[in-house]
Amino acid sequence: MIIIGSDHGGLNLKTALNSYLHRRGIEVTDAGTSGDASVDYPDFGQKVAETVIAGEAELGILICGTGIGMSITANKIPGIRAALVTDVFMARMAREHNNANVLVLGGRVLDEQKACDLVGAWLDATFEGGRHQARLDKITALEEKYS
């Protein structure tokens, strides 16, 4: 199951991605927002990240205007590896090398087709482990040191 959330700047793209994920047969939980009124992206970033960390969702997707704010927010939660991506190679590498458990997109910088391509590349990729796991272990050690 994937949990997806956005602020007002990512609402249209979130709606399109919800449809895309359902067409792929993926169960999706929508964490909001549901309207175009201005909201605070940290509220939705936190909700998605905490749901992933709690094991209530396998993966998360976050969308705000640029993706920057959501990325910063989600990465404050220990254990979250949120990757802001803008092309298919980055999306694939986010999973293969960084085992990103949250994908972050910019609703005002990506069109719907490109966003679907990025989500598809991320979902279809598999973490390679090996030397990449050793690097993730170093990130985990940093989280533990500063938590």
Residues known to be catalytic: 64, 97
In 3D, which of 62, 68, 69, 82 has the Cα closest to residue 13?
62
Q: Which residues pair with 104 in a beta bridge?
A: 62, 84
Residue 136 backbone dihedrals phi, psi, to 5 degrees: -65, -35
Q: Which residues pair with 103 in a beta bridge?
A: 61, 83
Q: Do the beta carbons of residue 63 and residue 10 sit within 8 Å? A: yes
39: Cβ–Cβ under 8 A, 6 or more apart, which residues? 7, 8, 32, 33
Q: Is the dihedral of CA 60, 5, 26, 107 positive or negative?
A: negative
- Could you tell me the maximum CA-CA distance found in the chain, to the nearest angstrom? 45
